[in-house]
Amino acid sequence: MTTASTPDVLAVESQHVLQTYRRQPVVFERGEGTRLFDDHGRAYLDFVSGIGVASLGHANPAIAKALADQATRLVHTSNVYFHPLQGELAAKLSARTGLERAFFCNSGTEAVEACLKVARRFWFTRGETTRTKYVAFSHAFHGRTMGSLSATWDEHYRAPFEPLIPGVTFASTTDPASLESLVDDSTAAVIVEPIQGEGGVRPIPPALASAITAACRRSGALLIADEVQTGCGRTGAFLASPALGLSPDLVALGKALGAGFPVGAAMVSHDVAAAVSAGDHGTTYGGNLLACRAALTFLDELDRGVLAAIPRLSAHLFARLGELAARHPAAIVEVRGAGLMAGLECASDATPIVASALERGLLVNRTSVTVVRLLPAYIVSEADIDEAVAILDQVFSEGART
């Protein structure tokens, strides 16, 4: 292994990697639990977790052991053949989500894409070929492929790639009554994130959740819950939808599911699954042995007390963040979120906050311009939370002085 210095890494990247990211100027080489170590050996407390992906912390021993063991046995065979792990993982996810069948893929956007396609396939099978539309919401983020991008709200992501797929309308999350006219018998599905993650950690208001349920019942439209960020325990429950009274027909999962290994899944109800036949959808990599082994190990760890600890950790996190906001009322407008998913709505662009936290050894990230997002690993400790909030307190105190 070569150990290039930071400027070399940045120089090579800037010349040869397609410049689609605005990266923080730090090169990480190693991780352990909630800590990351840069190329100078400096430790950082990680409250980004690879955007909610490293759910069991970095270099988790159970995940490392399982992946190493599986890699010596069998990694990939394609979906042309059976292997022992896909059905086992599907059964376990079915038990946790109440949705009978799983389609495995490699990312969140692919899980959303599968949900969008399967929803259309459902109506096509039923002969309702004019039911092709989707209703999504303001501030929604569903991914970057053409289908999921079509249901993503932000013009900044959409405009350079238009025309996107037609027939997607966006309801305002603050106007539940608008669903009455927007959702009708041409709507294949309504798609919603229980807490909008990339859109700024915005929980769906209960009145909107009720209106979604009512609109789907009235029109027959399917409900897709995009739980790529909120799912797999992030909010303390395996899914965030039930707490809102939502009963989705399809659920997209990703991020935390592979604990760092790329795994996505579209969970599909019995009725919807019955409309799908061989050849309708597919993937080369999806659900290979290594991916399934990672996800199975992740689910085992949830059962070993990881999930049960989240309500306690969450209460601690939101109590500390509430105190922080009370100390900096001019800078922090609102604290939002649930479980181990938190957003600080700031009075201005959060870029300097994120940069200052990085300098002080804390990783947080900015979303929706003014929001500082915290997505710690599920194995975070109360001491880690205290340390992170103490650093944020310094950052906001510093900001108030300048």
Ligand X SMILES: *Cc1c(COP(=O)(O)O)cnc(C)c1O
| Residue 202 is a binding residue for ligand X (CB under 6 A) | no
- Rounded Cα gap, residues 346 and 372, in angstroms: 7
Angle between the 307-327 and 382-401 helix axes, to the nearest 10 degrees?
20
The stretch near ligand X (CB under 6 A) out of 138-146, 200-208, 288-296, 353-361 is 138-146
- Pairing type for strands 341-346 and 264-268 reads unpaired
Contacting ligand X (CB under 6 A), which of 97, 219, 229, 269? 229
Least distance from C-beta 136 to ligand X, angstroms? 11
Contacting ligand X (CB under 6 A), which of 93, 190, 228, 364? 228
Cis peptide before 160 (omega within 30 of 0): no
Contacting ligand X (CB under 6 A), which of 31, 33, 57, 143? 143
Residue with tokens 């992906």: 53
Least distance from C-beta 109 to ligand X, angstroms? 3
Q: Which is nearer to ligand X, 142 or 320 (CB)?
A: 142
The stretch near ligand X (CB under 6 A) out of 123-131, 141-149, 166-174, 299-307 is 141-149
Give the total of residues touching ligand X (CB under 6 A): 15
As to burial, measured by CB atoms within 10 angstroms (0-12 exposed, 13-18 middle, 19+ buried), residue 40 is: exposed
Residues in the chain, overall count: 402
Q: Give the number of other Cβ atoms within 10 Å of residue 294's Cβ.
A: 23
| Residue 109 is a binding residue for ligand X (CB under 6 A) | yes
Q: Which is nearer to ligand X, 263 or 395 (CB)?
A: 263
Angle between the 289-301 and 61-73 helix axes, to the nearest 10 degrees?
150
**Identity of residue 150:** S
Contacting ligand X (CB under 6 A), which of 34, 56, 99, 198? 198
- Extract the runs of DSSP E, i.e. beta strands, from 127-236: 133-137, 168-171, 187-192, 195-196, 202-203, 222-226
| Residue 193 is a binding residue for ligand X (CB under 6 A) | yes
The stretch near ligand X (CB under 6 A) out of 1-9, 103-111, 284-292, 363-371 is 103-111
Contacting ligand X (CB under 6 A), which of 55, 107, 269, 367? 107
Question: Which residues lie near ligand X (CB under 6 A)?
Answer: 107-109, 112, 141-143, 193, 197-198, 226, 228-229, 254-255
